[in-house]
A = this chain, B = another copy of it.
Amino acid sequence: MGIAERKLEEKQEMHKRILDGARKVFLEKGYEQASMRSIAQEIRYSPGSLYFYFKDKSEIFHELHKEGFRLLLNQLKVLDNVGDPFERLKASGRVFIQFAQENKDYYNLMFIVDEPVKDSLSEGFQIAEEAISYMQEMVKECQQKGKFRDMDTEYFTFLIISVVHGICALFCKHRNSSFIGKTNEELMQNGYESFVALLEKS
């Protein structure tokens, strides 16, 4: 069955080809401004062809959405080598913020753009839940070592995620240009370090 095999490979290649084109257009123009026609044009196929490989625009988006999470999780996984959980927790925030800075468009796709997210709570968000439980595990470890003993694990985890996301969300939406004289990067890093200082006093 060499032919069927080749066919399958060709189909996967085309799948990838579309995703590559879509990634470029999505990250260049954002979700709304990226049209199916522009994606098709990018890979020099007709618009209709995309629908042979993907149900709709939202499905293409979701593939990239997951891609972004894999990228982030891979970076965070490196921190598994940090023994002390509090050090790991602090570093995670820094990695997260750095990821948002270096992959602003991915970050938008992953955490801000909401168009197609609505109907994907079951499937598309497993990976997000993975990230959350990863955080929660770290908080628990810290607590076992005596840190944040008086805090509720879940609420405290939610707080930490909110802090980091808040910092990144303001950055990604250019909503923090009102702090004149300081670059976004300075604001984000030093803002986060202020939080770390609070944690250390706890």
Does A115 interact with chain B (Cβ within 8 Å)?
A: yes
CB distance from A184 to the nearest CB of B (A): 10
Interface of A is mostly: helix
Identify the closest chain B residue to A154 (Cβ). Answer: B179
- Copies of this protein in the assembly total 2
CB–CB B112/A150 < 8 A = no
Known: A167-B166, A192-B159. A179 touches B132 (CB 8 A): yes
Query: CB-CB contacts of A143-187 with B at 8 A, as 1s and 0s?
Result: 000000011101111110111111101100111111100100001
Does A121 interact with chain B (Cβ within 8 Å)?
A: yes
CB distance from A27 to the nearest CB of B (A): 15
CB–CB B166/A162 < 8 A = yes
**A interface, size bucket:** 35 or more
Known: A132-B178, A154-B182. A163 touches B169 (CB 8 A): no
Inside 8 A of A197's CB, which chain B residues have their CB? 150-151
> Whole-angstrom distance between the alpha carbons of A85 and B150 in the complex?
25
Query: CB-CB contacts of A1-40 with B at 8 A, as 1s and 0s?
Result: 0000000000000000000000000000000100000000
Does A74 interact with chain B (Cβ within 8 Å)?
A: no
Partner-B contacts on A (CB < 8 A): 32, 111-112, 114-115, 117-118, 121, 125, 128-129, 132, 150-152, 154-159, 161-167, 169-170, 173-179, 182, 187, 190-195, 197-199, 201-202
